[in-house]
Structure 1
């Protein structure tokens, strides 16, 4: 079966072995005569899936025991509201503004309480990660976006925040790079990029940050969700099941460290090509380049459009850049194969030869 090279920013490519296992088990999970999609979330079979998913994620990310893992819904976008509702407690929240998703998080938090921008890279179209000063000691928390899906930048070394909780939106690079979870108070991530299907949101939260605000709506209260083991209401059962299979696959690849090594190899190949090309280029500061989302341009909107059209004809799908920045974007998440990046650079070579009269070999 021919599969497209899918560069979608999310929902995104899943590992083929995972898809094959889903296909094999789809009609009857473990001989039950029922699909996972049909299992009661209170059944022993599903509770086993949920427990294994949590254990695997804790192992892969080396999550300390004093952190709760929550399998929620509503996307990372709902966390823009849940985080300030649960963590502000009348204090001011600080933000590092590194792109569109940071700004959305700020907009929602401002509806809950006082916020302040501690650092920003908006002055240069979010093409770099700004220097982050020390957050005031009386802050409710400091919020960062570890990977900026649209702009193509990443924070690999989190800032030191002392006793102030560090909150991170890791939606587009969770499990793609190694992070020390103990440096964070709370991590959240939509599943549809590196973890599984859309509809699931992972929250990893330190226990002392739970239950400090009274009177919250039950569905938006981390304490209620933790007390009920992510089953206050019916969870995203099928998405959790697929995510568990992805966790198993990541473990087979050598864990997060193994995945990061492969991601650095893939991204390195593409960035080296862009830096040597006479037509294509990366608009992102070299030291801050994402491993998972790679924007690039030709310098001509017409050539960009033509490249996207020609790529689609050859089943290089979803290379069009985000509407806010234009150009192209290659999202090369964990499951994206190295040979797919090789094929992309070969396609770019061919495009240069056709439209600028001369091949580029890197």
Structure 2
């Protein structure tokens, strides 16, 4: 690959970040806010970090329209840890949760909840369809569950909810990791939202939890590191938080505001994904296996149907600066992740490459 080649990183996560954010990090690394200390060195008990974490929380509230009766919490451990934390904090009445099985990460959430003794009822699954469509919740009229868990966007399988299921009186919990801040949802419809930062919010090591006040503080003697009430009281600083990851997220949130917020990000993501889907739908070589109504705006899997040809394509794409388009091992083929920081020009280059590849491999 030529050293002057422009690189476009289509990885599912950790994912591409805005250039201006990376440049700001470079500027702040030697001395943050003229403190004489690197941003990697400042104490989490300092006024400098108080400003970072408080600004990040407020910017999240502004961007997502988070009501005042919700807590914004910062954790480590990814959503995998939250698959344990959520049932331990919230499943305290019926000790039973419902789940819509839309793919790998929903299945992981089910497994982790069961490991801590929570009963999990899978109300609908599209496993038999290889997760190429979304499970539909037919009815949930009786409130016999502490909550219903959904994955709003399935990173691996390339499906996403555009309309949230009607859960009636049952609380809705959403794993929003891969379309967090990239697609609009009404936060008031959720009792809890969890999201890893490494897709649309920065670097790995930070997990966001947004939870309504009346749902926390009901379980005593939880392990401290997964106690939502304790983290709310300690401003997410019961122990040393991921300082650098929170700082980075704060920069991305400022960038998002400058770009026009989540509504503008969704518009751009629709434009980017639309360009790629239009090409795939008219291709004689490539197939986008996901049902059109369920397609993700941020993760687009596609195949040729010939594993050897897929391997050839992935190698040739890397040679021209289109990196990390190999699909997840459970799905195969290719996957282009079009998160907020992926520019339209990157998708244009990908489509142009795929078009040329198709002409050369008929």
Task: Please confirm whether the aligned pair reaches a TM-score higher than 0.5, indicating the same fold.
Answer: yes
Aligned residue among 6, 30, 33 for 2:9: 6
User: Is the CA contact 1:267–1:291 (under 8 Å) kept in the aligned structure 2?
Assistant: yes
- Give the TM-score normalised by the residue count of structure 1: 0.97
**2:109 counterpart residue number:** 105
**1:262 counterpart residue number:** 268
**1:182 counterpart residue number:** 188
Runs of 4+ in structure 1 off by over 3 angstroms are none
Aligned residue among 234, 241, 261 for 2:247: 241
**2:99 counterpart residue number:** 95
Residues 255-283 of structure 1: per-residue CA shift (max 9 Å, x gap): 00011000000000000000000001100
Residues 61-116 of structure 1: per-residue CA shift (max 9 Å, x gap): 00000000001100011001001111111431000000000000000111221110
- Give the TM-score normalised by the residue count of structure 2: 0.97
User: Is the CA contact 2:5–2:321 (under 8 Å) kept in the aligned structure 1?
Assistant: no
Q: Distance in 1 between matches of 2:242 and 2:224?
A: 18
Q: State the SS of the aligned residue for 1:36.
A: coil
Aligned-pair distance for 1:349? 1.1
Q: State the SS of the aligned residue for 2:185.
A: coil
**1:132 counterpart residue number:** 137
Aligned-pair distance for 1:4? 1.2
Q: Structure 1 unaligned runs (5+)?
A: 357-362
**1:37 counterpart residue number:** 40
Residues 17-36 of structure 1: per-residue CA shift (max 9 Å, x gap): 11111111111111111111
Aligned residue among 81, 86, 89 for 2:84: 81
User: Is the CA contact 1:91–1:138 (under 8 Å) kept in the aligned structure 2?
Assistant: no
Q: Distance in 2 between matches of 1:68 and 1:231?
A: 14
**1:360 counterpart residue number:** none
User: Is the CA contact 1:211–1:222 (under 8 Å) kept in the aligned structure 2?
Assistant: yes
Q: State the SS of the aligned residue for 2:115.
A: coil
Aligned-pair distance for 1:164? 1.3
Q: State the SS of the aligned residue for 1:245.
A: helix
Q: State the SS of the aligned residue for 2:98.
A: strand
Q: Distance in 2 between matches of 1:12 and 1:46?
A: 25
Alpha carbons of 1:312 and 1:2: their partners in 2 closer, same or farther (altered >3 Å)?
Answer: closer
User: Is structure 2 residue 215 aligned with structure 1 residue 209?
Assistant: yes
Instruction: Report the aligned-residue RMSD.
Output: 0.9
User: Is the CA contact 1:147–1:153 (under 8 Å) kept in the aligned structure 2?
Assistant: yes
Residues 209-262 of structure 1: per-residue CA shift (max 9 Å, x gap): 101111211111111111100000000111111101100111111100011000
Q: Distance in 1 between matches of 2:311 and 2:214?
A: 50
Q: Distance in 1 between matches of 2:285 and 2:247?
A: 43
Aligned-pair distance for 1:3? 4.3
Alignment length (residue pairs) = 356
**1:319 counterpart residue number:** 325
Q: State the SS of the aligned residue for 2:150.
A: strand
Q: Distance in 2 between matches of 1:339 and 1:176?
A: 18
Q: Distance in 2 between matches of 1:134 and 1:208?
A: 25
